[in-house]
Amino acid sequence: MDAAVKKALDTKTFRPTGRGGGGSISSGSSYITDDGTVFVKINEKSNALTMFEGERAGLEAILATETIRCPKPIAIVKDGSNVALVMENLNMTSMTSHQQEILGEQLARMHLHNKMIVDEMHKGESRITTGSGDEDSSIKVVRKFGFSVPTCCGYISQDNTWQEDWTVFYLRQKLQAQVDRILRKAGDRDLNDVWSLCCQKIETQLSKLANIVPALVHGDLWSGNVASSESVPVIYDPASFYGHSEFDFGIARMFGGFSPSFYNAYFKINPKTDGFSERQDIYELFHHLNHWNHFGIGYKGSTISLLKKISTS
């Protein structure tokens, strides 16, 4: 793989720094090249190319908002069964409470970026393109929920086909897809019994939302995917799509790790609306189902408990 990446980058120097990274899905290492240090993620799963194409598109979309820092993607390299995503190398450390406050502000502005463009369009901005969001334009307004390519939360590909309605998109393409995957593998009766009741409750809760403007979300925003680089907050490993901004708080609540200053700063810019707490259960549910699919039956208990809570709320 090293030789293929070296060739793709057209560099004479390609030397590992000894600093690694990555997680349970992909491995990663930093390399010195003619043009500086890069970070290379490698994966050999059958859908690795889809994973990295989605991650690259997510990073590019985040960068395009000019609201929050993330690594700049450089290249995708395929060598046999191995695929590598080459990106900007950022020396990352843990965030301070003050940096978490800044992250909250920046995340709110990222979530509101598309709405800002919509508001500008209503004021008569002639350079703005309307549509699903897949047109080529320096200024683009996204009217639907979805994304231009599939993205992966972990290694499972998500169907991001554009939808007009957030409730339909979230129920069918996020939750139902995860439930179907579990049932195909295990045929779990407990899940099957409670899901039909829960589905109706979710539809009722989400149907109360009005006038949602699609927001670019990170999609996998837990404390392991945020850091500080040169005293600036950084987010990485996105599973992005255009959805309801509150979705990003689902896994943040599931695993914790964010300070009160983060939330206070966020909601000062993008305030909570009625029903926020109930929707957090609904958005956290996706990640319990996704973890069950990734890591097995150890996540069944928490998933069923959350399903029952939603069903009886």
Give me the active site residues, please: 220
Strands 156-158, 151-153: pairing is antiparallel
Strand locations in 71-155 (E): 73-79, 82-88, 151-153
Dihedral class, residue 292 (left if φ above 0, else alpha if ψ from -120 to 50, else beta): alpha
Rounded Cα gap, residues 187 and 269, in angstroms: 44
Look up residue 125 and give its two tokens. Answer: 């901005």
Q: 188 and 178 in contact (C-beta within 8 Å)?
A: no
Residue with tokens 């998109």: 169
Dihedral class, residue 25 (left if φ above 0, else alpha if ψ from -120 to 50, else beta): alpha
Look up residue 255 and give its two tokens. Answer: 């695993």
Q: 253 and 306 in contact (C-beta within 8 Å)?
A: no
**CB neighbour burial string for 193-228, b if at least 16 within 10 angstroms, e if fewer:** ebbeebbebbeebbeeeeebbbbbbbbbbbbebbbb
Spatial neighbors of 216 by CB under 8 A, at least 6 apart, are 61, 62, 65, 110, 111, 113, 114, 142, 240, 241, 242
Is 312 buried (19+), middle (13-18) or exposed (0-12) by CB count in 10 A? exposed
CA angle at 180 for the pair 176 and 182, rounded to the nearest 5°: 120
Look up residue 104 and give its two tokens. Answer: 């909250």
